[in-house]
Structure 1
Amino acid sequence: MITNTELEHKGNLFPGKITSFSQHVDKINFTTENGVILQITVLRGSVLRFRYATDYNFEKDFSYAISEDGARGYSKLEVEEHDSEYSILTARIKVIVNKQTLNIAIYDLEGNVICKDDWGFHWEQSYEYGGNIVKMSKSAPQGECYYGLGDKPTHLNLKGKRLENWATDQYAFGKDQDPLYKSVPFYIGMYEEKAYGIFFDNTFKTYFDFCHERRNVTSFWAQGGEMNYYFFYGPNMQEVVTRYTDLTGKPELPPLWALGYHQCKWSYYPEQKVKEVTSKFRALEIPCDAIYLDIDYMEGFRCFTWNKEYFPDPKRMVKELAEDGFKTIVIIDPGIKIDDEYWVYKEAIEKDYFCKRADGPYMRGKVWPGECFFPDFTNPDVREWWADLFKEIIDEIGVKGVWNDMNEPAVMEVPGKTFPDDVRHNYDGNPCSHRKAHNIYGTQMARATYEGVKKFSYPKRPFIITRSAYSGAQRYTSSWTGDNVATWEHLWIANIQAQRMSMSGMSFTGSDIGGFAEHPTGELYARWIQLGVFHPFCRTHSSGDHGNQEPWTFGDEVVDVTRKFVSLRYQLLPYLYTMFWEYAEDGIPMLKPLVLFDQEDCQTHYRADEFVFGNQILVCPIQEPNAKGRRMYIPRGSWYNYWTREYVKGGMEQWVDADLDTIPLFVKDGAIIPKYPVQQYVGEKKIEELKLEVYYKLGNKEVSKVFEDAQDGYDYVKGRYCLRNFSFTGKENEIIIQQHKTGTYVTEYEVFKIEFIGLPFVIKEVEIDNVIVSLDSIQFNKKEQTIVVPKDFTELHIIA
């Protein structure tokens, strides 16, 4: 065993004995003989904050990640002193603080260890930068698994990995390459089917080691700042994610069209080319809601300008696209071209809004426009100014969304691909170097963009997408996984990244379908579309260097596959919108890796391919060429093959057929899946009826939900929504569907068309709200097993 003295000789410093203790309401302070202070804050019975200071001093308490709207409060807090330790008891957990070492151990109320320190908190003085390198090490029992950390392109279970958080522009990144574009220092640990989470809220470059260096130790550390982390106890993994998301913030609902299909390329220009692409989508009847303009729409890549040669009248063009159902999204990067004739540059110079080097001059770097200066988005005045720049684009021209790219921040032709460490930032009145501000720069740009688009889109909802993000960015923006490659390996990576981002509180994420770099085969594109329509954000994007990547460039067979699956996404929009409402309301991940769906099944702990879309649809992409099917794991319970309606028992791996026009899809028994008719864009058709696909289940109740509102705007926050809770109960010769409805929104349709799948009996009688109705009056179709019933029934009996 290595002693503290030996470690100190290696440069690591450790807390001494506790010499004093104090409590002020929810904050409990322990001070040691060598000037370390541990402050434990009880936020909720299952959420604690651990914050360490050295030299008796905490830094000013400030975080961009923490939401002001998060739940606070607890029902129980007891602190007791014992001979060798202090104990802190809440309604959910017990914390033991060792008097000699300041080490922590956290237990559930049955006395089982959830998480405990190994070496615990220690630090090393940084003679290169001054300040401390702060470190934490935790014991890792054999069999513990780890998940999370955002967009890491590696296996879902992080056991054995060592990873770094430093937002980096990684064009054509590869499997296991690290770091990438996002910094999400939150992970989930699980041991013996009990889960907890740790969020290390430190924006410096951070590192996580999951039993890589020492097989029984997990550790995390940062190159500056404080050791400041939040602990979340489940024991259910989904509860860990929802508590973390509650702390770091939940998004507002997007407009429904943002959940449709988006088409993008670097770049669509001139206007005629844009119109050719949008017209082709309509001609081929492939639904699409958004068309993107990349950097070439600008005049010399200057943000907030238009190239008048390519787009002589952008307001007219955007209006004409909108009349055909297309919302226009434009890219905006952080680099502002150094040009005395450029109004954005002149304003920022006059107001002194650009980032500066430590010795005074503005930070200068090369990006697409050439030499640029960069706004300091950590300055609230700069964010307000930036937000106001969107008036013309949004309010006057009519653009519906903004795409923030290159905001890691990315800088060309320098070894580190970003700003020098000595660049200074305002950091909302907490001045600092770029070492501290780097990881949150992109999030603060997205925040400023969100505030501008929201201001000028009002009363409609804004749509923002960002490449770089830190924890909490989900409050402002969606994201995509960056510059991937058109390979089968990247299809696997995209699947993992979307699942991991959902587990990391950032569900509204997708990949560049088909791959950004290089050019996919038709087969790869078809398989990627099949996966992409089951990601919360759904967009094809490509560099254009190796050919076009619209569906029709791959031939008729791929067009048919694309149409089939994009149309299915549009049918499932009420299901997807309900998923998003649960995410926005309760922080529930929209995609659920199998381990999150059923952590008590040890078979799920290392599964990476399969995931649950929402709560009741199981998806497993085909990730190899020339495949006619695959082996996949069906989770415990019973499921229906979506395509064949075959009823299958879960809890085992099995072969599933899947030709090029099919992806393995299963629906949970007892589920009620809502569907709209296929539309070419959101709002194209009046919804005459809502279809409900009811999957028979024998036994216990299954609950399904449908959330609807005006599909845009903010009336839903005032109660103008319609939330339907359906509960399904199945018997051998009868099924009962009960509906409980809340909210004041009145949907435009009046009836449900219900299709029964897997019924073990022939329908002989139907009772609606205690009244037996004739089968003719409800348009009973025996062959299709469908009926049409009033939308506001409270109880429906289907009887043999």
Structure 2
Amino acid sequence: MFPRGVAVGMTRRLVHIICLVVLLFAKDIVMVKHGDFKTCQQSGFCVRQSAFADLVDKVPSFGSQYELLPDSLKIDEGKGVVTAHLLDQKQKTPFIFELFLLEHDTARVRIKEAPPIKPRYELLGDLALASSLPASVPIAKVNRTSTGEEIAVHFGVSGKNLLVLHARPFRFELSVNGVPAVSFNDKGYLYYEHSRSKESTPALENQAASAADGNVPVEEGANKDDEITKLQEALNKDLWEETFNGKTDSKPNGPASIGFDVSFPGSSNVYGLPQHASTFSLKTTRGENREYDQPYRLYNLDVFEYILDSPMALYGSIPFMMSHKKGVSSGVFWLNSAEMWIDVEKSKGTGTLSKLASYIPFATSKETSATTTSTHWMAESGVLDVFVFVGSTPNDIFDSFTAITGRPAMPQHFATAYHQCRWNYMDEQDVADVNAGFEKHDIPYDVLWLDIEHTDGKKYFTWDKTKFPNPETMQNNLAGTGRKMVTIIDPHIKRDDGYYVTKEAREKGLFIKDKDGNEFDGWCWPGSSSWIDYTDPAARQYWAEKFQFSEYKGSTPSLYTWNDMNEPSVFTGPETTMPKDALHHGGIEHRDVHNVYGTLLHRSTYEGHLLRSKNEDRPFVLSRAFFAGTQRYGAIWTGDNTAEWGHLAASVPMILSIGVAGVVFSGADVGGFFGNPEPDLLLRWYQVAAFQPFFRAHAHIDTKRREPWLFGEPYTSLIREAIRQRYRIMPYLYTLFWQSTQNGSPIMRPMVSEFPEDENTFGMGDQFMLGKGLLIKPVVQKDQSSVDVYLPKLAVWYDYTSLGKVAPSAAGVLNVKTPLEKIPVLLRGGTILPRRERIRRASNLMLHDPYTLLVALDHKGEATGTIYADDGHSFRFREGKYVLSELSYSSGTLSARGVRLGNDAKLSDADVDALSARVERLIITGLSALPKKVELDGRQLEFTGEKVDGDVYKIVVKDPKAWVGRDWKIHVE
């Protein structure tokens, strides 16, 4: 964009202004932002795959070209492995089919060319998957038809899962306890573009031409030959070169796309495929009544001021989809980091497996007239490596998916508290003043963030010595108040021979190359830049070493990291990102690794923090880009949102979608990154974000300052109270984070995951559960005096503030008044929720404060809960240095039991004292009468009681002198 010699001579400020002009121009054309990014019609492989599906719909036999050869079938029942040869009969291309049955009710299906002209890229090892995958499971039973054309494989506990393979045409189906769950290639969309030379004639051209003689329906008045010609052209679009907005992709390896269909019989809702600013239950993109005219796109992009209600690609991509219907949940994950498009279509019909009854007597058939959701997956390159998960509830799928991609990392305690950020806190005095403002107004916070202006000319791992001459002192001053600092470190490296990172990385050959093998030169915040190639293990090791205190001068143990712009964002690149024909380690094209690139930076930074602390402290690293497995390295946020009510509303389904795809530690910029929020919008955002996993306020450099006290009363007090709400529930929240490390359960949960039998929750994305105990309904409209909340009838519900029972309508709807000081927060009966009521300036100063246990009884007069505690920062919990207490209330007795996991030895009293705290207050609501006495070990406890409403009573027990982590019982008589 600018000659390097000119850029080098520019002042830092001038370079910054030019970069801002680039982005601000994009901002000016926000209404036509679609023009900056591809549609399916402008993406060659999306056009080809979509045309193939359209032709299959018109001529079903066209989609029957893949056949599994029965004579090649091999079954290892003990190892749970099935292999066979697969043949594309029309193109005469051979493939290898592999089926692996795994624990967690998981089936892995791989289809690869045998062999290709050039090996295709595969995401091997732990780049996206966990370092240790679930073990294989034996096949419980195998049934075959006499011809060998169909084979049924039973696996899982008591053989409850049934996978049926069909040879001609090739497809397979999965059922759970006889109920159809997932169908692969039922519509016949499987199309694997085989490797070929540029001189060869695509086989599909002849196929399309021959279809002209068949019975191909056309639109009224259309010429049949014209339609076939269009199909022929579409099937051969942009095979060897592609141009968009004046930038050409050379595509030296030619077409390599893969497409297939997956259907969910009897399921009306599918979820996942983050990241999109869309609804939680995905809208349709295909069919007569489609809600979007484009497929969902997965391609990590820096979308400046993204628009709402759109399937456009955003900053992260996880090719995972989940579905649920009563009694059966299922999920699909495609291990592939190339660009994808996914169509969603819904139709009425019978369950797919009902077809099997006529010719497979051992297959269970259950008819359903419910809506079936069919999806069409299309990727530009890579291999077909698909995991299919089945279970009874969404929680089963969360567990299975994170068993494959890795459990979420346990964050440090401070990371789950409130963070204060903007682009930019400009100097050390600004930092001191903001910190003093929180002190003056008695508002807790844990982390202060610095954006790109803290560096020396956008050279990361450096400090602007004029603005930040004493960075270590600045960090130590914050640490003295219990607080941390985060600085931004992006992947673009300024092309400056005097910059040590540039010099070292160039000498080691660690930069991404362009298509001609030269160091790639693009434009980002520093001006002319190069990008570290994190696909190279040597580059990841080099990057990790940069976080050593001896390398990152001015850093301290209380400094943590923010990785931004890691899609990667390239201002001068196609679609503001890296050209697809750029080259990575081993000659791999960028198109193959694009979506995993940002996660590999995230990983490298995480490993750098481990290295600097000698593996003693848990890292905190925030990333904007993400992929499957990101949850192993830290948090993400939803990107550059806007100070609008619509963006507040959109944050809820966006975070829900990210959470069900394994990345449980996510949030949205409070107040909106762009623009200046009205005081009431900012307040409403704080009120809901206080109950979301990642809680950070952030703002653009051109916005007005918006620290929580700047809007005057009543807003200062109300925002303070919203933040304090977060600090009260920190014990509950920290326990939820720990639980997610065990089973992948989201922190912020969709209603369907907690109420999988209530069909009213299946499509719901405008309210959510925090864990199992709290239901939150945001206020997302200006001057909204009340909102309707849906309360599933299976539970008893209490107002979180008054602790009185609430009475929804017969339809389960409760209208809640919402004055400025309140959003609807409901407490679920059956919950024991731990809180801390002594709010201090930072959360780590509260770690040893006593607990308040809030007990809300269900319709049986029972409740359960869990408290997890550790030292808040180290990995010593892996050595058994943690407290885990299981709480239950039944028949008038509150019991606590210290629990150890696996082979962990019992904690000493000294360890319990060091890690835990006493219970200073017990609140029980939902009692049918006031008790006469409350006792612990024969000692009567002081309590007060009152009627909260109707026949519901609440008591408060003062200082029972019980310790979390020890066994005890309190009797309420």
Q: Same fold (TM over 0.5)?
A: yes
Structure 1 residues 80, 408: closer, same or farther in 2, change over 3 A?
same
Query: What residue is the counterpart of 1:36 in the other structure?
Result: 95
Letter in 1 for 2:566: N
Secondary structure of the corresponding residue to residue 938 of structure 2:
strand
Query: What residue is the counterpart of 2:800 in the other structure?
Result: 642
Q: Which moved more, 1:154-163 or 1:379-388?
A: 154-163
Query: What residue is the counterpart of 1:715 in the other structure?
Result: 876
Query: What residue is the counterpart of 1:766 in the other structure?
Result: 934
Which of 428, 437, 449 lines up with 2:605 in the alignment? 449
| Bigger helix fraction | 2
Query: What residue is the counterpart of 1:694 in the other structure?
Result: 855
Structure 1 residues 699, 216: closer, same or farther in 2, change over 3 A?
closer
Secondary structure of the corresponding residue to residue 786 of structure 1:
strand
Native 8 Å contact 1:103 1:120 kept in 2: no
Query: What residue is the counterpart of 1:492 in the other structure?
Result: 649
Counterpart-to-counterpart distance in 2, 1:586 and 1:105: 26
Name the count of aligned residue pairs.
789
Query: What residue is the counterpart of 1:581 in the other structure?
Result: 738
Question: What pairs with 1:286-435 in structure 2 (closer than 5 Å)?
Answer: 286-392=443-549, 393=552, 396-426=555-585, 431-435=587-591
Query: What residue is the counterpart of 2:897 in the other structure?
Result: 739
Question: What pairs with 1:83-98 in structure 2 (closer than 5 Å)?
Answer: 83=147, 84-91=149-156, 92-98=160-166
Query: What residue is the counterpart of 1:121 in the other structure?
Result: 190
Correspondence 1:27 to 2:90: no
Secondary structure of the corresponding residue to residue 94 of structure 1:
strand
Q: Which moved more, 1:29-38 or 1:462-471?
A: 29-38
Native 8 Å contact 2:64 2:168 kept in 1: no
Which has the larger Rg? 2
| Bigger strand fraction | 1
Q: Which moved more, 1:630-639 or 1:65-74?
A: 65-74
Native 8 Å contact 2:267 2:323 kept in 1: no
Q: Quote the offset at 1:72 in angstroms.
A: 1.9
Structure 1 residues 634, 224: closer, same or farther in 2, change over 3 A?
same
Native 8 Å contact 1:255 1:463 kept in 2: yes
Secondary structure of the corresponding residue to residue 72 of structure 2:
strand
CA deviations 1:292-322 (Å, max 9, x no partner) are: 0100000011111100000011111111111
Question: TM-score, normalization: structure 1?
Answer: 0.94
Counterpart-to-counterpart distance in 2, 1:123 and 1:5: 17
Correspondence 1:656 to 2:816: yes
Q: Which moved more, 1:202-211 or 1:409-418?
A: 409-418
Counterpart-to-counterpart distance in 1, 2:317 and 2:347: 22
Q: Quote the offset at 1:436 in angstroms.
A: 0.7
Counterpart-to-counterpart distance in 1, 2:123 and 2:524: 31
Native 8 Å contact 2:69 2:84 kept in 1: no
Query: What residue is the counterpart of 2:671 in the other structure?
Result: 514
Native 8 Å contact 1:133 1:223 kept in 2: yes
Q: Which moved more, 1:156-165 or 1:20-29?
A: 20-29
Question: What pairs with 1:756-795 in structure 2 (closer than 5 Å)?
Answer: 756-768=924-936, 771-774=937-940, 778-782=941-945, 785-792=956-963, 794-795=967-968
Query: What residue is the counterpart of 2:38 in the other structure?
Result: none
CA deviations 1:366-420 (Å, max 9, x no partner) are: 1111000111011000000001111134885344310000000001134420111
Query: What residue is the counterpart of 1:226 in the other structure?
Result: 383
Query: What residue is the counterpart of 2:825 in the other structure?
Result: 665
CA deviations 1:718-739 (Å, max 9, x no partner) are: 1110100011225xxx344353
Counterpart-to-counterpart distance in 2, 1:584 and 1:361: 43
Which of 737, 752, 767 lines up with 1:610 in the alignment? 767
Structure 1 residues 580, 5: closer, same or farther in 2, change over 3 A?
closer
Counterpart-to-counterpart distance in 2, 1:708 and 1:376: 39
Identity of paired residues, percent? 28
Correspondence 1:81 to 2:141: no
Query: What residue is the counterpart of 1:529 in the other structure?
Result: 686
Counterpart-to-counterpart distance in 2, 1:794 and 1:512: 42
Q: Which moved more, 1:682-691 or 1:79-88?
A: 682-691
Counterpart-to-counterpart distance in 2, 1:796 and 1:149: 46
Correspondence 1:438 to 2:601: no
Q: Which moved more, 1:606-615 or 1:686-695?
A: 686-695
Native 8 Å contact 2:74 2:82 kept in 1: yes
Structure 1 residues 143, 353: closer, same or farther in 2, change over 3 A?
closer
Correspondence 1:160 to 2:293: no
> Aligned Cα RMSD in Å?
2.4
Correspondence 1:753 to 2:921: yes
Q: Quote the offset at 1:554 in angstroms.
A: 1.8
Correspondence 1:557 to 2:711: no
Secondary structure of the corresponding residue to residue 548 of structure 1:
coil
Letter in 2 for 1:481: T
Counterpart-to-counterpart distance in 2, 1:3 and 1:686: 63
Structure 1 residues 760, 482: closer, same or farther in 2, change over 3 A?
same
Note the residue ranges of structure 2 that are not aligned, 5 or more in a row.
1-52, 89-93, 195-235, 241-250, 286-294, 349-371, 901-905, 947-954
Counterpart-to-counterpart distance in 2, 1:176 and 1:686: 41
Question: What pairs with 1:163-242 in structure 2 (closer than 5 Å)?
Answer: 163-177=296-310, 178-211=312-345, 217-242=374-399
Letter in 1 for 2:304: Y
CA deviations 1:38-84 (Å, max 9, x no partner) are: 21111226101011123456857543211023432325443343233
Q: Which moved more, 1:455-464 or 1:23-32?
A: 23-32
Q: Quote the offset at 1:207 in angstroms.
A: 1.4
Question: TM-score, normalization: structure 2?
Answer: 0.78
Native 8 Å contact 1:674 1:692 kept in 2: yes
Structure 1 residues 786, 8: closer, same or farther in 2, change over 3 A?
closer
Letter in 1 for 2:548: K
Secondary structure of the corresponding residue to residue 583 of structure 1:
helix
Q: Quote the offset at 1:762 in angstroms.
A: 1.6
Native 8 Å contact 1:12 1:123 kept in 2: no
Letter in 1 for 2:332: I
Note the residue ranges of structure 1 that are not aligned, 5 or more in a row.
none
Counterpart-to-counterpart distance in 1, 2:333 and 2:578: 26
Native 8 Å contact 1:579 1:590 kept in 2: yes
Native 8 Å contact 1:394 1:400 kept in 2: no
Query: What residue is the counterpart of 1:597 in the other structure?
Result: 754
